[in-house]
Structure 1
């Protein structure tokens, strides 16, 4: 009965998708019919869109690959017991451990989601994983070096970025530990055995057969390919939306809206969400806004963007329940805004 209901729901959604694609196709055909042959290909907006789309894909793809490979290695070679032994039971120490993991394994936010899903399935607590998602893309040597390089004349911005990211992740982790149910994965019933096969003998004794290294590497390849296509479709859709927004919403128009400390911080946070830049390069984009925005607004851009961006949210919805994604997003927005407001008052004057 349940399978029939699920099949009917799937068929219904497929019908909606086909209808939507048909309407889009009709609109595109109508648009082409009103244009001169070849005129659309020479359109400057289309050229900009293509450049943006391809550059986002090329920039994000290596980090997606790194993330899915790490995810597959964790699946095959790391047992649940190992993960549980690595994470202290004290929540504060667990959150600090997650921050240290980000320093040791500098994964961009594009590759963070698949790796974190596997870590949670292996036994990492949700509050530690939340901290890792938030602070991992920022609190690592590569990002600090790029931020310090972009703001050589204002090193306090680099230190403010790192400090605020850590404090925001700490508070978020404690809130998730205290108030959020730990079961937030969409497929929480997924289990793994770390690449081991269990055999039960006639006497009732259970032994664990360890596969050969070649077999385990084949498993790594299998998991990597599956994870890559699973995450890649969300990256493609996110890149499409980001490219459209960057093409048709000029940064100059957005900058003209930022008047006053509070509105400027919100504006730069929104810009960080929309642009969805890699955390290793967003400091150089922020540096181009130095003459237009205050230090607090620049830090808001550099902290919120890696923690919460358009393509990242789409990837998170594939892994986590929608309610948790909303809670995570609201916490990031509130704490980053409050933190940059305080920085503006106390340090970045």
Structure 2
């Protein structure tokens, strides 16, 4: 290690931050504004009931609610609790961090000399999210895969049943309509229906109807919190990219990055570990463009926003561990197959 290497690493680190920070701030402001000023419940009635169409529409909703992989989980949770079909909610959960105008713009800015990366990223993300949402729609009742606190307030409509019977099914399972006490999950403490009603009201509360000063205060609070959390992740990710590029021997990177299979696996693992925000991950990937295959860059850009360590932790607030494992496995397999095709037949 010498001063030249340190200077090079620090220069690369600062360049990544300078390029990425405006997009991070724009993404946080845009997603926060939509969550504060737009009520997504009005879209629930418009969602298609067909599983495949529902998954496709859900995957495209990111253009209306452009949120990163931190903001998509709360929105997906609200959609499920409001009765949106599971295919729509899961399609949105996986695609929204990538299928939105801010990420498209950021990716185009980073890879304007490789436009195929931009469009393949969008196409692969849309296809994978739609397929996984469609697969999960085969589970008629998603509640066994949800955390108990979420499952208890998710309405369930039996397929082939009329509206009256569907409402009866919701009445049978909704804790808000039961009397007496009951057990919440495995807890030994009985929970009163009034407590659960208050929790559900908080979970479903939308800031849209609040006065403008309250909305602006919520927007400011949300922006500060997300910039603090995501900014730290961005700094860490930029530091890792700079260190890898400068201090790891060039021949090691070339041997790993040029293999059609090893390069994809390495970048998928890096994407899961680094957990960098989707609004700026294109600039991180760009630092590897000269040494890694196009398919591996796509693997990083497609898989990371769907499944990373930060996202897994957030998903566990909605789903049970086995459901998150299913999501992780399907997303990894489909990403690997799609990007391997790019390495073998397109690059």
Distance 2:221 2:318 in 1: 14
Indicate which of 151, 157, 162 corresponds to 2:111.
151
- Please state if 1:187 is matched with 2:186: no
Structure 2 CA distance for partners of 1:311 and 1:219, relative to 1, 3 Å: same
Tell me the equivalent position of 2:287.
288
Structure 2 CA distance for partners of 1:323 and 1:73, relative to 1, 3 Å: farther
Structure 2 CA distance for partners of 1:249 and 1:147, relative to 1, 3 Å: closer
* Local SS of the residue matching 1:318: coil
- Does the 8 Å CA contact 1:139/1:166 hold for their aligned counterparts? yes
- Does the 8 Å CA contact 2:60/2:92 hold for their aligned counterparts? no
Tell me the equivalent position of 2:341.
342
- Does the 8 Å CA contact 1:67/1:112 hold for their aligned counterparts? no
Distance 2:109 2:29 in 1: 27
- Please state if 1:303 is matched with 2:273: no
Distance 1:129 1:234 in 2: 25
- Please state if 1:161 is matched with 2:121: yes
Structure 2 CA distance for partners of 1:90 and 1:219, relative to 1, 3 Å: farther
Shift of 1:289: 1.3
Tell me the equivalent position of 1:138.
98
Shift of 1:73: 5.5
Distance 1:268 1:185 in 2: 31
Distance 2:263 2:87 in 1: 31
* Local SS of the residue matching 1:109: coil
Compare CA radii of gyration and give the structure with the larger one: 1
* Local SS of the residue matching 1:286: helix
* Local SS of the residue matching 1:139: coil
- Please state if 1:121 is matched with 2:81: yes
Deviations 1:190-222 (CA, angstroms, capped at 9, x unpaired): 6449779xxxxxxxxxxxxxxx95x56688689
Deviations 1:91-125 (CA, angstroms, capped at 9, x unpaired): 22212222331122221222111122112211222
Distance 1:261 1:87 in 2: 40
Distance 1:178 1:278 in 2: 31
How many corresponding residue pairs? Answer: 283
- Does the 8 Å CA contact 1:64/1:110 hold for their aligned counterparts? no
- Does the 8 Å CA contact 1:239/1:311 hold for their aligned counterparts? no
Which stretch of the first structure deviates more once superposed, 159-168 or 185-194?
Answer: 185-194
- Please state if 1:255 is matched with 2:215: no
- Does the 8 Å CA contact 1:151/1:287 hold for their aligned counterparts? yes
- Does the 8 Å CA contact 1:234/1:314 hold for their aligned counterparts? no
- Does the 8 Å CA contact 2:23/2:106 hold for their aligned counterparts? no
Structure 2 CA distance for partners of 1:147 and 1:161, relative to 1, 3 Å: same
Structure 2 CA distance for partners of 1:181 and 1:335, relative to 1, 3 Å: farther
Unaligned runs of 5+ in 1: 1-43, 197-211
Unaligned runs of 5+ in 2: 1-6, 154-198
The CA RMSD over aligned residues, in Å, is 4.1
Tell me the equivalent position of 1:277.
276
Structure 2 CA distance for partners of 1:221 and 1:124, relative to 1, 3 Å: farther
Distance 2:105 2:80 in 1: 30
